[in-house]
Structure 1
Amino acid sequence: MESNGCGDYDELVQELKSLKDSKRDIEARISVLETQLKNNKLNDEKVTSDCCSNNFGEHGLTADSIYRYSRQLLLPSFGVQAQSNLLKSSILVIGAGGLGSPALLYLAACGVGRLGMVDHDVVELNNLHRQIIHGEAYIGRSKVESAAAACRSINSTIEVVEHREALRTSNALEIVSKYDIVIDATDNAPSRYLISDCCVLLGKPLVSGAALGLEGQLAVYNYKGGPCYRCLFPTPPPTTACQRCSDSGVLGVVPGVIGCLQALEAIKVASLVGEPLSERMLLFDALSARIRIVKIRGRSSQCEACGENATLTQDNFQQFDYENFTQSPLSAPYWDYALSISINLNDRKIMESNGCGDYDELVKELKSLKDSKRDIEARISVIETQLKNNKLNEKVTSDCCSNNFGEHGLTADSIYRYSRQLLLPSFGVQAQSNLLKSSILVIGAGGLGSPALLYLAACGVGRLGMVDHDVVELNNLHRQIIHGEAYIGRSKVESAAAACRSINSTIEVVEHREALRTSNALEIVSKYDIVIDATDNAPSRYLISDCCVLLGKPLVSGAALGLEGQLAVYNYKGGPCYRCLFPTPPPTTACQRCSDSGVLGVVPGVIGCLQALEAIKVASLVGEPLSERMLLFDALSARIRIVKIRGRSSQCEACGENATLTQDNFQQFDYENFTQSPLSAAPLKLKLLTPDSRISSKEYSEVVEKGEPHILIDVRPSHHYKIVSLPNSLNVPLASLEGRLPEISSALDSTKANGVHDGSDARLYVVCRRGNDSQRAVDLLHKAGFTSAKDIVGGLESWAHDVDQRFPTY
């Protein structure tokens, strides 16, 4: 296929179109099969669940769900109960565009049980700079079809409901009544009033967002007696104030930030966690990197929709003319493509005519389709590279017509693709040209890197590099929205690069499938203008910062853990580097990772979007980057602060007046030893006890099978214990162990009285998650006189690996 080099341009374009059509068909069939398999889990999951549900706890989560959502289950303030609430909830997103894209992706990833989406529109090229849920392959097709496929690719275990229609007074009550929570991701005044009134009538909380130009806002309405939209805006704004992005423009990542925050607020409402933004409003200014949360009025007694003498009823709602009320159209003109949907549905009926089918055959077909999809994606990548290197036609067009297009050198397609950014007076042609000429390196293709990479690709960074040595795992997918289930077990960089190219095939995407180390960092980083640190460990932060100082590269650094995040720009125009602020590494006890402490999936989404925004501002020479300032984000309370930080330190070893850092000693420096923390995510394995004080999981299994009297103490925190536990274990968290020794002594005495008749003592065993805390506990027990206590080597992870492979890990 490649024997003729780049090949004929037109033939390559034709082949590329054909391959993308084939890929769409395969994705549609994959979606059907995954739905069938979900409804036909008789062989494995149901049997496992029926046999072992008591072992997994009362929450009813399957082993796969525990592993998938493990980072959320680890959060003390979220945990099993909140995740169960989320999985039982239903959320409707109205609008699958700039706001709806990140909202839908993160709701699907985090585990909303039933996710609905409403949109009548089709995907267009000029959507793609901000609507990251869609790819070029879906241009001309239904946005809902595209968005649903994307959500299912991330999480095939949830229910995704498609409403391929415009929301009108004639259908709104019926559609909205089927969901618990509504997200308004539309872009026009009549829709805002219509959706708010509908939610008031049906008693549904409403998460409303808006993004235009370089600004955004967000609030939660109709929640626990709070105001509705009409309470704040009883009179519609003048039509001159009702601009859309097609008129005023929008920077692509701005709706990304607001959409992520909408998903977060909806998750908080659904899971009954945190303080939603009711009676408060978030105001976002991307240009100055300022975010304010202001108090707004409560429910108005005079409100026509929810006040004491409200006149709104379901009957007059259906007759109300919202376009006339606001003097603004509900939507841009659209056409009826019911015929194409009907054909699509008929095709699906034919494909599903045999019901759920045989389980093994479906699995086999699914695997074959995914293999074919990978092959097609590989060929698409080759062709896109060839077309990029064979731009003869485009160059001729550009040469012939450059006077018509202006001095910026943008092609007709680029002008259309980035038109909403070109419309911005404070961004425009010059900033877009700067962006297209820039190169940005993202280190880490995980929770932070996922949204950063997607929005950088969408907004038009000329050359986008990514570094990561890791592979995609199931428990990544609740936060790493750039990856899908089809890429589990494969390189994260491979997956991320494919996603970026699917959104924007005109930019250069460079893959570095390796870990960043002192041996390769200078070479890799030197090839880019700007660096984004999207890693999650202390040694990498110092390594990347030092490397950027040596090479004079601006660094956009972000972090997200638990329900909090932070962001700053280092080494920019004389500003501080990371070492200036943190010359001494934090203690290892403070260097937690999400594998230990957990993270709510959408939190790195918010920070990653903001990292992309800061990098775009630096690259395009627009706005005020967060240099000498730091953004602090608390998702639980919905509070965001931007604080002043110190400038460059004259005493800094990396960038100070007498800095000792050089390229030579950088390459020899041991960052793991400096931070007393590993670069890799491999869990710590302590060896505190002698072998005679330990027992393997298989040996403990024999103790259980023989019915030997014993006590099993589980020293994990209580919220870990609720996730999964071994039968008949007693939860005594390590932190409270010393104060509960009498309780353990009583349990041993009771066991001895009930089960031991040969004069020997009942045994005492201790287990934890990985076999570290159990050793600490046994050491404490030995000192307290419980000399026979033994820990189970490797903890519950060893039990799941060596004894019962059905047992969940997290």
Structure 2
Amino acid sequence: MLNPNLDEIQLTKGEYERYSRHLILPQVGLEGQKRLKAASVLCIGSGGLGSPLLLYLAAAGIGRLGLVDFDVVDNSNLQRQVIHGTSWVGKPKIESAKNRILELNPDCQVDLYDDLLSSENALEFMEPYDIVVDGTDNFPTRYLVNDACVLLNKPNVYGSIFGFEGQATVFNYQGGPNYRDLYPEPPPPGMVPSCAEGGVLGILPGIIGVIQATETVKIILGQGTTLSGRLLLYDALNMKFRELKLRPNPERPVIEKLIDYDQFCGVTKAKEEEAKRLKEMQEMTVKELKQLLDSGANDFVLLDVRNPNEYEIAKLPGSVLVPLSDIENGAGVEKVRELVNGHRLIAHCKFGSRSAKALGILKEAGIEGINVKGGIDAWSKEIDPAVPQY
């Protein structure tokens, strides 16, 4: 529990009315509401997880909220990032979030950090706040948030989502475990797809984000039992919650400073290897592909390595579907070999990365190919806007 000087905190008449349902709860009461007003919380990310937790923390009466995000609102965000609206598409997320927070609770102080969280600024951004809430979607930033919280001795309220599943816990609280006890080593880059590639149920971050908000409020109030030492797993498809016990690892390396987290997670090396692979790989633009298709040439096979459900959304003329997963397990390699049969191979996916990976596997099997730069997303933007972007 945090220990502010409550004698300096007073509620206005309007706040007594606003928080009346809190004030009559014995676990909150006047003292608890003053604690909420005195508290400060920094939210890393104002996307899927940040949206519901920021709204509920503001509604609960948290006195000061900090937002770290450098992204802009995109149409594809609106399916799950409920703090943003259509009128804010193309504008900074933190400005959109602040606007909505102040509409909900004009008494809340909202600090904006329009920057990418890094080893250079993390300690500076986090130091003024009581609690840090992690609403990020990548491993380097999660390790960074964790290590900075350990160095500053601040609770880290964690959540993550993918597909139909989510998880939440509290790290670095009252001697409990931290993120490195759950993930001592990061997974190889690309092993866990992003939401943009793998998808996510729009409702899911609402559930996990609200759990994060709940844990944050409980820490401030000093009430209940937090998720520290417990990893809560949520399966939306089967509507099940499970728990895994987490304990501090006595052999865990001591965190003494912030490091290069892209390098630690293998991202730097993976980018270098991808750049090298792309340099060695033949590429064509979507404009060049359009010219080839318009020419009527029939000496090539246009391979689509996306998932079947993506193929149903949008497809290029004459493309043949062989999912990357089939190519990775070997079955698709032979199918591609049969399709090519002396023809040129041209491969594409949504953005170009999966098709590049597929071509790398096929090359090892003796099948050379050309990658379509930017994939079907670039086709929609540059060639045919009627092809849906998703």
Same fold (TM over 0.5): yes
Pairing partner for 1:670 from 260, 268, 273? 260
3-state SS of paired residue (1:618): helix
CA gap of 1:805–1:527, structure 2 versus 1, over 3 A, is same
Does structure 2 conserve the Cα–Cα contact (< 8 Å) formed by 1:408 and 1:429?
A: no
Post-superposition Cα deviations, 1:431-458, rounded to whole Å, max 9, x if no partner, equal 1111111111111100000000000000
Post-superposition Cα deviations, 1:89-135, rounded to whole Å, max 9, x if no partner, equal xxxxxxxxxxxxxxxxxxxxxxxxxxxxxxxxxxxxxxxxxxxxxxx
TM-fit CA distance, 1:512: 1.6
Does structure 1 conserve the Cα–Cα contact (< 8 Å) formed by 2:9 and 2:37?
A: no
| 1:703 is aligned to 2:292 | yes
**Structural mapping, 1:349-364, within 5 Å:** none
CA gap of 1:432–1:798, structure 2 versus 1, over 3 A, is same
TM-fit CA distance, 1:607: 0.5
Query: Residue 771 of structure 1 aligns with which residue?
Result: 352
Give, in whole Å, the separation in 2 of the partners of 1:613 and 1:593: 26
Does structure 2 conserve the Cα–Cα contact (< 8 Å) formed by 1:537 and 1:591?
A: no
3-state SS of paired residue (2:277): coil
3-state SS of paired residue (2:345): strand
Give, in whole Å, the separation in 2 of the partners of 1:507 and 1:475: 28
Q: Which of the pair has more CA radius of gyration?
A: 1
Pairing partner for 1:526 from 124, 127, 130? 127
CA gap of 1:686–1:795, structure 2 versus 1, over 3 A, is farther
Residue type at the aligned position of 1:701: K
TM-fit CA distance, 1:527: 0.5
TM-fit CA distance, 1:782: 4.7
Query: Residue 180 of structure 1 aligns with which residue?
Result: none
Residue type at the aligned position of 1:464: L
Give, in whole Å, the separation in 2 of the partners of 1:743 and 1:593: 27
Post-superposition Cα deviations, 1:455-479, rounded to whole Å, max 9, x if no partner, equal 0000101111111111111111111
**Structural mapping, 1:321-720, within 5 Å:** 409-646=10-247, 648-653=248-253, 659=254, 661-662=255-256, 665-666=257-258, 669-677=259-267, 686-688=275-277, 693-709=282-298, 710-720=300-310
Give, in whole Å, the separation in 2 of the partners of 1:592 and 1:744: 24
TM-fit CA distance, 1:736: 2.5
Q: Identical aligned pairs, as a percentage?
A: 41
Does structure 1 conserve the Cα–Cα contact (< 8 Å) formed by 2:46 and 2:68?
A: yes
Query: Residue 3 of structure 2 aligns with which residue?
Result: none
3-state SS of paired residue (1:509): strand
Post-superposition Cα deviations, 1:722-769, rounded to whole Å, max 9, x if no partner, equal 1211122111123324435665565556xxxxxxxxxxx644322222
CA gap of 1:674–1:746, structure 2 versus 1, over 3 A, is closer
Residue type at the aligned position of 1:643: L
3-state SS of paired residue (1:588): coil
Query: Residue 375 of structure 2 aligns with which residue?
Result: 795
CA gap of 1:650–1:720, structure 2 versus 1, over 3 A, is same
Alignment coverage as a number of residue pairs:
378
Gaps of 5+ in 1: 1-405, 654-658, 750-760
Give, in whole Å, the separation in 2 of the partners of 1:437 and 1:741: 61
Give, in whole Å, the separation in 2 of the partners of 1:689 and 1:468: 30
CA gap of 1:691–1:702, structure 2 versus 1, over 3 A, is farther
Give, in whole Å, the separation in 1 of the partners of 2:336 and 2:123: 56
Post-superposition Cα deviations, 1:588-621, rounded to whole Å, max 9, x if no partner, equal 2443321121111110110000101100011111
CA gap of 1:804–1:521, structure 2 versus 1, over 3 A, is same
Residue type at the aligned position of 2:286: S
Give, in whole Å, the separation in 1 of the partners of 2:250 and 2:135: 27
Task: Using structure 2 for the length normalisation, give the TM-score.
Answer: 0.89
RMSD: 2.4
Does structure 1 conserve the Cα–Cα contact (< 8 Å) formed by 2:80 and 2:205?
A: yes
CA gap of 1:422–1:733, structure 2 versus 1, over 3 A, is same
Give, in whole Å, the separation in 1 of the partners of 2:224 and 2:144: 28
Query: Residue 732 of structure 1 aligns with which residue?
Result: 322
Give, in whole Å, the separation in 1 of the partners of 2:152 and 2:370: 53
Residue type at the aligned position of 2:301: I
Give, in whole Å, the separation in 1 of the partners of 2:364 and 2:187: 31
TM-fit CA distance, 1:687: 4.6
TM-fit CA distance, 1:692: 7.4
Give, in whole Å, the separation in 2 of the partners of 1:645 and 1:740: 40
3-state SS of paired residue (1:421): helix
CA gap of 1:502–1:524, structure 2 versus 1, over 3 A, is same
CA gap of 1:601–1:742, structure 2 versus 1, over 3 A, is closer
Give, in whole Å, the separation in 1 of the partners of 2:70 and 2:232: 29
Give, in whole Å, the separation in 2 of the partners of 1:786 and 1:575: 52
Does structure 2 conserve the Cα–Cα contact (< 8 Å) formed by 1:441 and 1:466?
A: yes
TM-fit CA distance, 1:688: 2.5
Task: Using structure 1 for the length normalisation, give the TM-score.
Answer: 0.44
Residue type at the aligned position of 2:291: E
Does structure 2 conserve the Cα–Cα contact (< 8 Å) formed by 1:689 and 1:779?
A: no
3-state SS of paired residue (1:430): helix
Give, in whole Å, the separation in 2 of the partners of 1:691 and 1:578: 38
Give, in whole Å, the separation in 1 of the partners of 2:281 and 2:227: 56
CA gap of 1:740–1:478, structure 2 versus 1, over 3 A, is closer
TM-fit CA distance, 1:543: 0.8
Give, in whole Å, the separation in 2 of the partners of 1:804 and 1:739: 32
Does structure 2 conserve the Cα–Cα contact (< 8 Å) formed by 1:530 and 1:555?
A: yes
